[in-house]
Amino acid sequence: MVSIEFNKVTFSYQDGTEEPVFSDFDLSITAGEWVAIVGPSGSGKTTLLKLMKGLLQPQAGEIRINATVLAAGELNHLAACAFANPENQIVSPVVAEDVAFGLENMGLAPETIQVRVEEALRWVGLWERAAHFSHHLSGGEQQRLILAGALAQQKKCLLLDDPLCMVAGRSRTEILNLLKSIQAREPCTMVHTTHLLEEALLAERLVALENGTLVFDDSPGRFLQEKELVEQLGLEVPAIADLGEMLARRGLVEPGEVITLEQLLELLTVPGPKQDNEKE
Ligand code: ADP
Ligand code: MG
């Protein structure tokens, strides 16, 4: 697994002539951690992932991957990456070939590639469309295709840039479930940026950015307690988390204990000692 450390990183676009996106930025991600990064549009989420991946180089400070200073493009063999705007990342006209492309670049045997392509496409629910034209897929399906490409690489680090940005409705739930199953199946270091609290609350750790500054770094449950900050960042609290807060106000759960559907279901299926309070 992969650890990622930012030490006093300063980065600005246009070879440093623009206003820095990050100044003296510190962040440390432990191997195997699942971190969600939230923040308004333009706060630096995508730039942060690109720095992690080595696609951009800081003008000052250093980025260490597994304690070694990262050189340009160096995380390529360790991390799989899926950025928002799928159309820029789909390289092949056929769905299955697009997933295979990344694996061919890794030099894998054709039989292994075949198995992994099928597995990844089934995982994201696109196997039936394996032979279809990639550009005939909807925006959400294209995003799932990019995700399949990253998953098929089975790397020790997964960097996902707003995986739900073009996905609505039922597909959204499917991708959220997919994120959960990734960690359950094969633990890896996972960092994903998102504009949706529903997605961020699934992670173990939530990092919030505002104008390139880290304004929060703790558990998702604690983040919800910071009501002013949540509002300031323009994030919408999911209905389940609201319900969890009502339960906490009545003393039925701890504050921040129930913020996801799983936690709510767990609470409902395990009859606990707090049943007496519920009759009030
Ligand atoms: P987010 O992903 O949170 O929306 P970004 O990382 O895309 O934020 O952007 C952070 C800042 O960097 C913004 O001010 C944005 O305008 C600027 N920026 C992003 N990409 C580029 C680029 N290629 N060239 C110049 N400025 C950029
Ligand atoms: Mg972005």
Closest ligand 1 atom to residue 40 Cα is: 3
Tell me the ligand closest to 41's alpha carbon. Answer: 1
Residues 6+ apart with CB under 8 A from 105: none
Give 120 Cα–ligand 1 centroid separation in angstroms: 31
Specify whether 141 is located in the same domain as 178: no
Q: pLDDT tens for residues 68-120?
A: 777 655 666 778 888 877 667 888 999 999 999 999 998 999 999 999 999 99
Rounded Cα distance, 271 and 42, in Å: 45
Q: Whose CA is nearest to atom 1 of ligand 1?
A: 42
Specify whether 131 is located in the same domain as 180: no
pTM above 0.75, yes or no: yes
Q: What is the pLDDT of residue 76?
A: 65
Residue 145, in any domain of the structure: yes
Mean pLDDT of 210-218: 97
Specify whether 72 is located in the same domain as 168: yes
Q: Whose CA is nearest to atom 13 of ligand 1?
A: 42
Q: pLDDT tens for residues 231-255?
A: 999 999 999 999 999 999 999 999 8
Band of pLDDT at residue 280, cut at 50, 70 and 90? very low
Specify whether 165 is located in the same domain as 59: yes
Residue 136, in any domain of the structure: yes
Specify whether 176 is located in the same domain as 187: yes
**pLDDT score of 208 more than 80:** yes
Q: Whose CA is nearest to atom 25 of ligand 1?
A: 13
Closest CA to 99 of 90, 108, 107: 90
Give the best-scoring range by mean pLDDT among 141-145, 162-166, 226-230.
Answer: 226-230
**pLDDT score of 277 more than 60:** no
Specify whether 218 is located in the same domain as 188: yes
219: domain CATH number is: 3.40.50.300
Output 171 or 130, whichever has higher pLDDT.
Answer: 130
Residues 6+ apart with CB under 8 A from 245: 224, 255
Q: Within 10 Å of residue 2's Cβ, how many Cβ atoms?
A: 22
Rounded Cα distance, 70 and 62, in Å: 7
Tell me the ligand closest to 163's alpha carbon. Answer: 2
Using a pLDDT cut of 90, give the percent of the chain over it: 54
Q: Whose CA is nearest to atom 21 of ligand 1?
A: 13
**pLDDT score of 271 more than 70:** no
Number of domains in the chain: 3
Give 207 Cα–ligand 1 centroid separation in angstroms: 18
Pocket of ligand 1 (CB under 6 A): 13, 18, 21, 39, 41-47
Give 46 Cα–ligand 1 centroid separation in angstroms: 7
Q: What is the pLDDT of residue 195?
A: 87
Closest ligand 1 atom to residue 193 Cα is: 2
Residue 279, in any domain of the structure: no
Residue 247, in any domain of the structure: yes
Q: What is the pLDDT of residue 69?
A: 77
Q: What is the pLDDT of residue 73?
A: 56
